[in-house]
Chains A and B, each alone.
Chain A
Amino acid sequence: MKDIERERLLIRQYLLGELDEHDQEQLEQRVITNPDYKEEVLITEEELLEEFVNGTLSLRERESFTRMYSSSPAQRRKIKIAQALNSYAAEHSPVVQPMAQRSWAKSLFELFSTKNRFHQLSLAALILVLVAGGSILVYWLMSHERRADYDALLRLNQFGSELLQPDGSVVSVSLPPLSFRGTGEPRNISLTKQTRTVQLRLDPSGGAYSFRAILKRSDGSEVFTLEDLRARQIDQHSILVLQIPAQMLTPQVYQLEIFEKRADATSESPSTFPLNVAETP
């Protein structure tokens, strides 16, 4: 276990009342003499509160947490604020609410019917604002769509996610083993209207702990980065599988970069695989 993980575990145990007197004192002495350490304990406490509110604590942790956090009004208040913040955030998208339609309509009518120069200037300014607002709205819609795509990508590749079987909606392509360090001829990927997911498989061969995948467009811009990909065991073989929602891809040549990350957090230079995506009717 890394030092930082061990430290966080110790802090969790402290907050859950699971440390012995000696360790508890050691930790509290660090809290009172080191503001950065105190901040780390406070952050860990917020994360514990969040896990409690979301119901993701283990049964044992939940029992300890309930014992520790029901003992005083201040502790109970922390739970209530965490609950309020979580439900507030779930209900409130951080997007500026549109103004009421009626007042817009009324103002527009008044502006269009006036002959006053000031109002005419105001009308011009309003049109400018509307154009700018429209652009922002279009940008927001596009970024919202991108976020949905990225969320789908994360779901398809998170640890323990389903391995999709190739069929009409899943196109599976094998890439050269990672030990070849990529390059070579581009692999062709044909998308049809039915294609929902593109699945890339390669032999990771080596002792990598996890992988980072970066997909880049032909102009070098990034489509996505995925961290902490793990190889899967398929028919007693270790295979690295990357599952990409088809709507993230358009016809062009992409570069897929795979970085191997070792347990000590070091990584080697990436293996690059060109992918030629085309659409077929």
Chain B
Amino acid sequence: MTKKWEDNFAALLTWLDPDPEKAGRKYEEIRHSLIVIFEWRGGYDAEDLADETITRVLSKVPEIVEGYVGDPALYFYAVAKRLAFEVIRRQQAKEQIEDPEKLRAPKIDDEQNDREAEYECLDKCLAQLPAADRELILLYYQQDEPTISYRRELARRYGLAPNALRVKVHRIRATLQACVNKCLGKPK
């Protein structure tokens, strides 16, 4: 890491928030948002694209910080959007050269080989959750076709409003997903 990079990164954090702790949290929040946005846009390696976005913002920080008005996150977004267009153009150019038959969207069930590994990781990660969280997430997903009434009753049993239950289950699931990804040796 060069001195300039370090200086720019320090300036970036200060731009996000004068409080270093809050700035760190905001940085992580923005990076995570960029990753999920690239994923939703179908980016092949969302994490790399998010980091590329941050690198581009970093290189511009000394010029923009002074005069910029508004939420810095929106600047990151504008850079990410430009990068997404570049990636699409690159992919289109590549598709014209390569055999179109091979470029068809891969089938969803074409990666069955590591199903057992996923199951094992899930088992291991569920075991790491607090017992109450484990019970809740298994109950939440237990029905083949969960009905609204079933989940409303579940929320009542846990003394939560239905939306609070959605949020709680999502947070448990996010922890679980991160653990499974780590267990499988995959990013995020």
- Residue positions of A touching B, CB distance < 8 A: 14-15, 25, 28-29, 31-33, 35, 38-39, 41-43, 45-46, 50, 54, 56, 66-77, 79-81, 84-86, 88-90, 92-94, 150-151, 154, 158, 225-228
Contacts and interface: CB of A to CB of B under 8 A. Distances in A.
Contact of A32 (B77, B118, B145, B153): B77
18 contacts: A14-B40, A32-B34, A42-B174, A43-B167, A67-B105, A69-B108, A70-B105, A72-B42, A72-B46, A74-B45, A76-B108, A84-B180, A93-B142, A150-B153, A154-B149, A154-B150, A154-B153, A228-B149
Contact of A81 (B30, B39, B177): B177
A-B pairs, 3 with minimum CB distance = A71-B42, A89-B141, A94-B135
Contacts of B37: 28, 31-32
B149 A31 contact: no
Given A88-B122, A90-B142, A74 B46 contact: yes
Contacts of B105: 66-67, 70-71
Given A54-B145, A85-B122, A227 B77 contact: no
B23 interface: no
Given A32-B73, A35-B29, A74-B39, A85 B106 contact: no
B147 A154 contact: yes
B144 interface: yes
Interface residues of B, number: 60
Contacts of A93: 138, 142
A70 B104 CA distance: 10
Q: For chain A, what secondary structure do more than half of its interface residues adopt (helix, strand, loop), or is it mixed?
A: helix
A77 B183 CA distance: 13
Interface of B: 29-30, 32-34, 36-37, 39-40, 42-46, 71, 73-74, 76-77, 81, 105-108, 111, 115, 118-119, 122-123, 126, 134-135, 137-142, 144-150, 152-153, 156, 166-167, 170, 173-174, 176-177, 180-181, 186, 188
Contacts of A39: 167, 170
Given A70-B107, A88-B119, A90-B144, A38 B126 contact: no
Contacts of B30: 32
